[in-house]
Chains A and B, each alone.
Chain A
Amino acid sequence: MTTAATPAPASPGAASGSEAPRGRAPGGGLLNRFQRYLEQHGGFGWALVAPALILLVPVVIGPTIFVVVMSFMRYSPGEAMQFVGLRNFIRAFTTPRFWHGLYVTGWFVFFSIAVQLVIGFIAALSLQRVGARLRRFSMAFLLIPMMIAPTVVGILWKMIFKARYGALNYLLEQIGITGPDWLANNTAALAGLLIADIWEWTPFITILLLAGLQSLPREIYEAAYMDGSKPWQVFKNMTLPLMKPFIFLAVFLRLIDAWKTFDLIMGVTRGGPGDFTESIAFYTYKIGFTYFEQGYAAALSFIQLIVIIILGKMLLSQLTKVRAENKATVE
């Protein structure tokens, strides 16, 4: 059965593992002696973590610090770096295209998560209701959109959105709707991105919520129905509150992912028409690697980092709170 563990990996199990193991027979080779030395000095655990840290520090922490420094510089490849103070940030805050990128990202994050939660919930409730065989069969296909390369998802939908020869407009025509030229029209292009994202990620929400539904205790449902509650009441008063931690988790994971949206835009619209569907990440990419204004791009990156840290912290504390409350009510 499913259990919702706290995100801290350190919490469950292994109470006995709080200190290095003892009681090893003496002797052995150089490696053993080295190991014993580390254990006696409490460093064995760190020795095992060290390779990962040695790898991560130069590729993550180093460049991130460097980006922060660069964000106060004016720099393009082949030029000397020049300190410009806060000018990059001022430039960002006074550039409409920056605000538009934030707006597109925000719009995209909000609608993709909202729509996916609603559809995902309906789908999860339905999947829980059908037989185990059909459920397993469906799962095998639901996995596909989220596992394949977002680049492929992008071109897949681009193919379907094609104005004259695409499948979507043809199908829409059959039911009497004249479809827009999806990728040439501002609003339609944004809607198109949303549709592609819904296709890619709704199955993930569905599977996550289904795991949640299946972990809910059966007995309380039986009791509720015995009391003569209507299905809608049961859903509203029991299922929804009990599912809160799973819903929060889904929102948390999707938000962090949707905030970085780059691949899908690269595949479907390339930011177009014009720069209407440019997310903040895509705008940063354009500035840094098409216009090569890398000081400014660093400032944009820095802003995104701050936002995701704040958002992540807020959501994580909410998630922990909801979990704590929920444990209290179930038990």
Chain B
Amino acid sequence: MDQANKKRNWGDILAHVVVVVLLIWTIFPLYWLIITAFKPLEEFMTYPPTFWPTKWTLDNFYEGLIRQNGLPALWDSLVISIGTLVISLAVGVPAAYSIARYKTGGPSLAFTILSFRFMPPIVPTVALFLIATSLGILDTYALLILVNCMAVVPFVVWIMAGFFEEIPYSIEEAAQLDGASWLRMFWDQVLPLSAPGLVAVGLFAFIFTWNELLFATILTGRNVTPFTKIVPGINIGHVEPHWGAIAALGLIVIIPIIIGSWYLQKYIVRGMSYGAIRE
């Protein structure tokens, strides 16, 4: 018994050591991003590198947001992300409900829609570039929103279908016996019950689009410049990256995502595993 206890203690100590190492490993790069964002320009070139800025400055934020056009880039990303969010929920939620309740198209329809998400985005992009060029819609918000829906709608449909299946059907039947129209029943009964799931799916949808790079690089030009496209290319002069401005913008774009992901904590496994694991 005593020996078993001793073993248990060693195991506990080891587990704590692993968790602490894991946390340091995860947090250190983020810490480095934060201090780089506040370091003055001359401190990027010092050796040894400083692990605590000698002087804290906001110059990098000014450089990134104003002089390097970070602000319009953030605006573009915001417009595209919100546009994608609204449209993908508007078309995805009814489809999810239909698949969950009426089994529309059977499992094959649901799987086909999901498989769109697993397609490498570079595949349709080659053709989309050509089509968009000939239609003259390259480098517009509309195009970016539309192509982002390609990845987000399947996600919305698949995950929301799972949430709708968890709502007891009797609630809807009662509403229908009262003579409520489908829209009324859906709006008054179903949506409020699936609200937490809906918020989570919406947040995921926003985050996926906000972080998207491939479409943002290929299908845009001078007019629309999402931050993912411009941030890595911020230079001093022509070659040396302006690390301070890059870090400052990087920090700005991840803060809302970090806050959002804390809300998502409960749904993260479910969302990222496409509903295969439900907590």
Contact = CB atoms under 8 A, between A and B. Distances in A.
Interface of A: 1-5, 7-10, 12-14, 16-21, 23-25, 27-28, 31-32, 35, 44-46, 48-49, 51-56, 59-60, 62-64, 66-67, 70, 75, 77, 122-123, 125-127, 129-130, 134, 138-152, 154-160, 164-167, 170, 199, 203-204, 206-208, 211-212, 231, 246, 249, 253, 256, 259-260, 262-263, 266-267, 281, 284-285, 288-289, 294, 297-298, 301-302, 304-305, 308, 312
A138 B121 contact: no
Contacts of A301: 120, 122-123, 125-126
Interface in B228-273: 228, 231-232, 241, 243, 246-247, 250, 253-254, 257-258, 260-262, 264-265, 268-269, 272-273
Interface of B: 7, 11-12, 14-16, 18-19, 22-23, 25-27, 29-30, 32-33, 36, 44-49, 51, 87, 90-92, 94-95, 97-107, 109-111, 113, 115-116, 118-131, 133, 146-147, 149-150, 153-154, 157-158, 161-162, 165-166, 169, 172-173, 176-179, 181-183, 207, 210-211, 213-214, 217-218, 228, 231-232, 241, 243, 246-247, 250, 253-254, 257-258, 260-262, 264-265, 268-269, 272-279
A267 to B, nearest CB: 6
Contact of A159 (B36, B97, B257): B36
Nearest to B272: A204
B11 A129 contact: yes
Given A7-B276, A17-B100, A56 B29 contact: no
Contacts of B126: 63, 67, 70, 284, 288, 294, 297-298, 301
Contact of A2 (B15, B214, B277): B277
A245 B148 CA distance: 31
A15 to B, nearest CB: 9
A130 B150 contact: no
B99 A149 contact: no
A21 B196 CA distance: 25
A266 B279 contact: no
A8 to B, nearest CB: 5
